[in-house]
């Protein structure tokens, strides 16, 4: 919900579906890219976002293990841990980075090779600064941390094309 409230049934159902998807991919010789995405709509704070992301990812990894997914042969593509867009509190990039790493450390199996973060509706500037903060906060965590930002990379170009439709 808009205040960060999400039912256990919703989490379980969606994470079971993602685990089944991952298993189907692997059974067909493909590496699954698993995307547990938390929307930014709402006014929830960073602490609530950490709690929701922790719950969602914990359910996901349990479901993947229960379904027999080979963890080393899958990639996680989550959002960074961000507060809701309508949150009254402003957080620094370092706050976001530390919250994201804290969430991963709590629940992500070390067998998972890496994380490719979604830009999740963030601007290119915010997403890049926050990814930098996440990597600074990483410390000795075992994962490769990168990005998969089609939206953040494409939106500035689309805006440029709108301003200059003939390319001159």
- Clarify whether 159 is annotated catalytic: no
Catalytic residue among 77, 85, 138, 163: 77
Integer CA distances (angstroms), 99 to 10, 56, 86, 105, 154, in order: 23, 15, 18, 10, 27
- Clarify whether 35 is annotated catalytic: yes
Q: What SS3 class is residue 79?
A: strand
> Are 72 and 113 within 8 A, CB to CB?
yes
Catalytic residue among 35, 62, 138, 163: 35
What is the CA angle 69-73-75, rounded to 5? 95
Q: Which residues are catalytic?
A: 35, 77
């Amino acid at each position: 919900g808009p205040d960060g409230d999400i039912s256990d049934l919703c989490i379980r159902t969606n994470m079971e579906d993602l685990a089944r998807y991952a298993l189907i991919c692997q059974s067909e010789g493909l590496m699954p890219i698993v995307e547990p995405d938390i929307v930014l709509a709402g006014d929830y704070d960073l602490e609530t976002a950490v709690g929701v992301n922790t719950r969602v990812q914990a359910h996901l990894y349990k479901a993947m293990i229960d379904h027999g997914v080979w963890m080393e042969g899958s990639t996680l593509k989550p959002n960074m841990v961000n507060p809701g867009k309508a949150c009254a509190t402003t957080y620094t990039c370092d706050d976001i980075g530390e919250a994201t790493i804290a969430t991963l450390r709590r629940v992500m199996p070390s067998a998972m090779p890496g994380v490719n973060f979604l830009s999740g509706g963030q601007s290119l500037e915010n997403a890049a600064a926050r990814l930098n903060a996440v990597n600074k906060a990483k410390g000795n965590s075992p994962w490769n941390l990168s990005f998969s930002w089609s939206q953040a990379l494409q939106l500035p170009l689309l805006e440029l094309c709108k301003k200059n439709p003939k390319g001159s």
